[in-house]
Structure 1
Amino acid sequence: MARRQAPAYAWPDHLVRPQTGQRLVYLDLNHWISLAKAATGHPTGAQYAPALAAVRGAVASGGYVFPLSLTHYMEMVGIQDPRQRGDIADVMEEVSGFSTLLSRTAIMRLEIEAALDRVFATTSPHVADVNLLGHGIGHAMGQRGGLYIRSESGDVTQEARAKWPGGPAAFDAFLASARRQLERGVLRGPTDAEVPDLQARGWDPTAARAIAEQRAESERQQAKRLDQNPEWRNRLRDIVQARYLTLEVINFLNQALIGRARDINDVFTDKESGRAFTECMPSADVHVALVEAAHRNRDKSWEPNDIFDVDALSIAVPYCDLVVTERHACHVIRTARLPQGMQTEVVPRLSDLTEWLDRQ
């Protein structure tokens, strides 16, 4: 599976990185749980106390951001115990400040535009700049906006601000508090007592996992096809790339081509052009590496959490400076030589994070 050298990625110009020089550190949910254990004095949390102290120091220095992703929000919903969710959410809020990475689909669209720019030797002035790093669940979902005050006549936020008791500063404080409470509530989820009313209003905490289950089942079916056609494993990477194009990006790609008055046949002229197009998109390259490795393991049983992991790492590895994930994913990513081409360090333990912070 190892690749001789990393491809030359088509980094999207319209994905705006932080201009502050801050380093981005991504932690998967298991490591957030470990930090929460340290913060709450859990019997197994003492071993993670040095990492928590190092993370807090890094945040206080202003030189590091520990962003959340949409995957974190979806995984948090799956935790049944409200107290445990609250403990994890408290640490996430303290450390991340609700900073979030842009959604995977939004990043994919920008990467497609960048890849097409390379194919056609053009630029894409029709594409708006989007910040990689933003605030809250809205940004993590690829949405723009925030909290506003509306009436039948439309947005009256500025009018309310001007007339607010205590003046504009008091209004700003009120709005900031409301935003914080909203973000906190989304991350923590409901208490057991709140669940029945929410469900009566249509709330479904299983929706994200149900979609992940459908995608996991698709990979299970693909594994069966591979077992029935063992000769396919000789070109497994090509197969995984082709499935990525047809299942993940084809609609976005067609939309982008229509906007350029181009056809898909202008992009994929042969097998090599298809490989080059997929591999030049950073998030696609991570996705393919992880899925290919999973399908090489014939005993692999695909679960929704595997889908969450692939989605999260496909944006974290290309666009963060350090990624702390589980051991197997770390091995796969390193074996595929992705960190070299993406200038990202990928490590499996919180103690590795502490050592990395010490070196900076």
Structure 2
Amino acid sequence: MLPESKYEFPKCIYLDQNKWIDLARAHYGLKEGVPFKEALESLSSAVAAGKVLVPMSCIHVMETVGFNNSNGRRRLAKFMVELSDNLFIVPHINIRRSEIAHAVLKVLGLNPQTSLRAQVLQRGISFAFGVQPMISEVTKNITKQLEAIISSKEFSVEFLVNGINTSVSRNDRKVSEEILEILEEIRGRVLSKLTPDMQLGVEFHELFTKGSPGQEMRQVLKNLNITLDNFMQNFRNHNQYLSFFQTVSTMDVFVKLKVAMDKEKHRRIHRNDTKDMVFLCVAVPYCNAIITERFWNHIVRTTGLANRYETQVETNLKKLPDLLENLCCF
């Protein structure tokens, strides 16, 4: 659904959950939404013209189901599903698998046959969790009907309103808060022993030797009938190996954001930081523009990620009309 190049249309804009809420307030004529009326009108026009896509993600789903007011949750859900046209960004884990396969093939001098950007968006809320509807033990016609229902806007709205018990969302917040102290302790140890460049190398090394990315790479090599030792002979030094890691875009962004966040030692780690990094590691390399909170705007810019991936980053929703004009969407 996304073109292979960011220079082609439609463009893709990722909005932080708070920005969605501001636009919804404008859509429903609430007083708090008046300042964002122009932003909503410009975005709606660009979407209607086929110039822009505004997808949701699993982060939006979790934030929306945690909205306490059930009537407000339904209004927000209907607005988000309609403006996004029921499009969802697939999880970074799903995209990462394809990125690793592409990166390995390029090292071997082979051309990947698929476009990474074309895999990023899918229609239907199940794709927000990386799950394609699989229905069995019924007739083909019924299967098609059920798949159509699961992929429908109505199903997405009902899932956002009633699909997850709000107590689950509240428990998720509690668990997140409980691990913050552990993360702060780890950050303190890391900062006392490693420079940012050293930490960057260590983070990539750990992910590719002990984490699931390493398992995914070994599976790709196994499918190609290549041993890890033989593959490693393509790298003459540590810098070349590090460069290979950085061609896996979602990992490149996630690790650099984490290292940059850890450097901000006077700012305590927030319970939403990991969630923010999870959406940014997809949005930065694959979306044309992101409207997010001030801290991440600063980090994405100062790390050079905005320039590296040619992604516009903004905090002020009122500047959305200008951003759309910069993207040639008018």
- Fold match by TM threshold 0.5: yes
Amino acid at match of 2:154: Q
Deviation at 1:234, TM superposition (A): 5.9
- Match of residue 23, structure 1, among 11, 29, 54: 11
Counterpart Cα distance in 2 of 1:258 and 1:283: 22
- Match of residue 256, structure 1, among 220, 226, 235: 220
Which deviates more from structure 2 when the two are superposed, residues 247-256 or residues 318-327?
247-256
- Match of residue 299, structure 1, among 249, 261, 266: 266
- Match of residue 138, structure 2, among 145, 152, 155: 155
Counterpart Cα distance in 2 of 1:179 and 1:126: 26
Q: Where does residue 106 of structure 1 map in the other structure?
A: 94
Counterpart Cα distance in 2 of 1:234 and 1:72: 33
1:64-123 C-alpha deviation (Å, 9 max, x unpaired): 110111221122233333233223212201210111122211110011111111222234
Q: Where does residue 180 of structure 1 map in the other structure?
A: 153
Q: Which runs of 5+ in 1 are unaligned?
A: 1-15, 162-170
Among all aligned residue pairs of Structure 1 and Structure 2, give the percentage whose two residues are the same amino acid. 23
Counterpart Cα distance in 2 of 1:236 and 1:353: 36
How large is the RMSD of aligned CA atoms in angstroms? 3.4
Counterpart Cα distance in 1 of 2:221 and 2:171: 31
Counterpart Cα distance in 1 of 2:239 and 2:260: 21
Deviation at 1:244, TM superposition (A): 4.1
Q: TM-score, normalised by structure 1?
A: 0.76
Runs of 4+ in 1 over 6 A off after TM superposition: 125-130
Deviation at 1:271, TM superposition (A): 2.2
Q: Where does residue 4 of structure 1 map in the other structure?
A: none
- Match of residue 317, structure 1, among 281, 284, 303: 284
Aligned length: 320
Amino acid at match of 2:203: V
- Decide whether aligned partners of structure 1 residues 139 and 274 sit closer, same or farther in structure 2, where only a CA change above 3 A counts: same
Deviation at 1:309, TM superposition (A): 0.5
Deviation at 1:126, TM superposition (A): 11
- Decide whether aligned partners of structure 1 residues 125 and 261 sit closer, same or farther in structure 2, where only a CA change above 3 A counts: farther
Which deviates more from structure 2 when the two are superposed, residues 243-252 or residues 30-39?
243-252
- Decide whether aligned partners of structure 1 residues 47 and 118 sit closer, same or farther in structure 2, where only a CA change above 3 A counts: same
Q: Where does residue 43 of structure 2 map in the other structure?
A: 55
1:19-70 C-alpha deviation (Å, 9 max, x unpaired): 7831111111111111122223333221111111111111221221101112
Amino acid at match of 2:2: R
Q: Which runs of 5+ in 2 are unaligned?
A: none
Contact 1:18 1:132 in 2 (8 A): no
